[in-house]
Structure 1
């Protein structure tokens, strides 16, 4: 057998009079055997499975299931949260993730903004450092500054080019809202602000930070960074969507409670005349 080439699968039934279905069975059997000894597979039932398969069913089944859910221990953090914590060190304590998830679930009525935020949290975007692990020949350096490894934190916050953008964003947001927020990745990227989650979710600030962050993927793998002009346009598009939402219930009081200071900001913001031949949109 060692001196002969391996026989083709389609020829085996002709030579050994065995149905091809038998070979599929042996393929499956070989795969299951490769998983290890059967005792390594989970054989015990979870409490929920035990309740569902009990015959006859226990009395007060719904109450029992509800009590089991209440007594269940809190799940572990998802793997991406652990990777964020590892990359950022002590900047995000484990206890803060509960607030991060609460705010993420109610950060915007826009599905696009929600999707962008969850992609960021789950580390969906392919950074140079991640691509370098997949393809060792690819460049590990940031595509903007070309000086430092392009990790998640670097691309979204630490890069000297994106730092100029965030410095301008924080200055504008503090001016509009009257807050005194110091620039930090916790605030800009994870919405960890010195406000209660309920208060922050109803504030203008959450929309301003949402749009500032959502513009970064639009310039992915580009040497350019978002501009304040782009940010103003994006925020005002969100304001228009919010106005339509509240107008359906004729609830303009809530709309103006959130957006009054943004409208005031646009009214007072000086508009510089464009320079002929210039394509700069940072005004």
Structure 2
């Protein structure tokens, strides 16, 4: 598949997501895994996962106790990747067959995503390896192969290349192979990536061993590769730390990123929380710094700088609103409500409350609804009201009930929303 095809598809997805406007976020952040993104599909990565899955399935079972991952490497090298190559012309250069060349390229990309060299790790195939040269070219010694030496890991030990007597005893090599041994040892000693000590196995090869015989191979490989290359969110994290005046631990920051999944059952609530955590919403301060607005003053109070934290929490015109919401949740769940903004805005430290899982989900949904009401008045001088939030919560409850009923999980709705429903009946 030409790389240009994936660019066209990504362009269509971007045009749909951003309504034809300039994207406000890198596509990698949208494509991030379960805990960090909204999981828009990465078609190129899925194509690589499908190709890797096919390589796993078609690895030959020939040979003497050869690991499937090693067999994949060997089949690639010897142009025996798959049965469908049988009728193709594979003579001449080993890259003359476009199918095999593409398979080799996908394998290399998967290794690169895992952050490991394709040619210099414990599972790398030793023969015809372009990184291991003897007299300026890759080699393949039949005697060594027939003895069972296939991987770099087969000849490597804690102190580097194993001694020749050890190799002779283990793989039944003849003394005539000592010259080959010296040549190979000299070649490996020149590779800076190979240092004394146990070599790491390739993560992609470990994955193959883990998922062998399981269903959903392509999806498992896709998720594995996706989580191996998470987007860099350091700038977003630092911006929140600067506004809140504190430093996040990695666990707390991961909780904030994962809050998009627990913001509610409906996609709209999750998208609102995702945009807040990733600071996508335009604020007076952001518009002013981009030279799109003359002033950075808040649209409500017109007295303080309109940062994202101010627009969602610190604005004096919002204090009455948040006080009423906090008081209602406290009386409804019989708890002492939190007074830290990171819990209300980023969904952090809510697990610290002594609540059941259903009550925690209810609190998170209530807070996202509160922020949704604020966003309705984003560029307006008037402030949201508690009554508006309460009515929106009733609408959210109705919507959640429909979704959970379709999923045959009405018992979950009752556990999560019954306190609010009782209160609604009283009013």
TM above 0.5, yes or no, is yes
Scaled by the length of structure 1, what TM-score is found? Answer: 0.67
Contact 2:285/2:306, CA 8 A, preserved across alignment: yes
Among 48, 51, 61, the alignment partner of 2:118 is: 51
Structure 1 pair 154–253 and aligned structure 2 pair: CA distance change class (3 A) = same
Among 297, 317, 327, the alignment partner of 1:161 is: 317
1:125 and 2:192 correspond: no
Q: CA deviation at 1:169?
A: 0.8
1:100 and 2:100 correspond: no
Match of 2:383 in 1: 225
* Structure-to-structure mapping, 1:36-185, within 5 angstroms: 48-49=111-112, 50-51=117-118, 64=205, 66=207, 77-90=233-246, 92-135=248-291, 138-185=294-341
Contact 1:211/1:235, CA 8 A, preserved across alignment: yes
Among 200, 203, 222, the alignment partner of 2:361 is: 203
Structure 1 pair 183–83 and aligned structure 2 pair: CA distance change class (3 A) = same
Among 351, 370, 380, the alignment partner of 1:212 is: 370
Q: CA deviation at 1:195?
A: 3.9
Q: Distance in 1 between matches of 2:381 and 2:119?
A: 57
State how many pairs are aligned: 223
Q: Distance in 2 between matches of 1:250 and 1:122?
A: 33
Cα displacement string for residues 49-82 of structure 1 (whole angstroms, at most 9, x for unaligned residues): 3439978798797752539x79x79976442122
Q: Distance in 2 between matches of 1:246 and 1:77?
A: 33
Contact 2:318/2:383, CA 8 A, preserved across alignment: yes
1:190 and 2:346 correspond: yes
Q: Distance in 2 between matches of 1:263 and 1:84?
A: 35
Contact 2:265/2:403, CA 8 A, preserved across alignment: no
Q: Distance in 1 between matches of 2:243 and 2:423?
A: 36
Q: Distance in 1 between matches of 2:355 and 2:274?
A: 17
Contact 2:358/2:415, CA 8 A, preserved across alignment: no
Q: Distance in 1 between matches of 2:299 and 2:271?
A: 24
Unaligned runs of 5+ in 1: 1-44, 270-283
RMSD: 3.5
Contact 2:263/2:361, CA 8 A, preserved across alignment: no
Structure 1 pair 51–202 and aligned structure 2 pair: CA distance change class (3 A) = farther
Q: Distance in 2 between matches of 1:201 and 1:46?
A: 44
Match of 1:15 in 2: none
1:252 and 2:410 correspond: yes
Structure 1 pair 138–112 and aligned structure 2 pair: CA distance change class (3 A) = same
Moved more, 154-163 or 77-86: 77-86
Moved more, 174-183 or 155-164: 174-183
Contact 1:145/1:159, CA 8 A, preserved across alignment: yes
Structure 1 pair 73–115 and aligned structure 2 pair: CA distance change class (3 A) = closer
Q: Distance in 1 between matches of 2:110 and 2:398?
A: 49
Structure 1 pair 196–115 and aligned structure 2 pair: CA distance change class (3 A) = farther
For the residue of structure 1 that corresponds to 2:246, the secondary structure is helix
For the residue of structure 2 that corresponds to 1:167, the secondary structure is helix
Cα displacement string for residues 177-223 of structure 1 (whole angstroms, at most 9, x for unaligned residues): 22211322122111221248982685321211110011111111111
Q: Distance in 2 between matches of 1:229 and 1:121?
A: 26
Moved more, 107-116 or 189-198: 189-198
Moved more, 131-140 or 219-228: 131-140
